[in-house]
Amino acid sequence: MSSFQLDNDHDLKVTNNSLTLTEGLEAIRQHLLCVLQTFLGEWFLDQDVGVPYYQEILVKQPSFQTVSQVLRAKILGTPGVLELLSFDLRYLSNRELRLDFSAETTDGPIDFSQIIEV
């Protein structure tokens, strides 16, 4: 798997006036990060991309089980991810979740840690 590399500001990375590619585990990690930071319906070219934050997570008294299932499904639906080896989701505050997981991918195991501000 390969993809255009993004910089820290989520812009396309340009090196010597050329777009930079990323491959393997880093491409999968970047794709996971993009999916988890995109709200469902946010991208006008494909309304099915993203996490249903407004529909399932940012609701009054969200079910922890539902939030966990939604995030698991999005992770497992990411190209290159074969299976989840571990999954830990914790509330840090009313507006923050900490997501830690490891997964088996087509390019080997990957560890991922992200604070999701919702």
Domain boundaries, the chain: 2-117
What pLDDT does 28 receive?
92
What pLDDT does 59 receive?
85
User: Is the backbone of residue 107 left (phi > 0), alpha (psi -120 to 50) or beta?
Assistant: alpha
CATH of 2-117, one of 3.10.450.40, 3.40.50.150, 3.20.20.70, 3.40.50.620: 3.10.450.40
Cβ neighbors of 31 (< 8 A, separation 6 or more) are 1, 3, 78, 79, 80
pTM of the predicted protein model: 0.84
Low-confidence ranges of the chain (pLDDT < 50): none
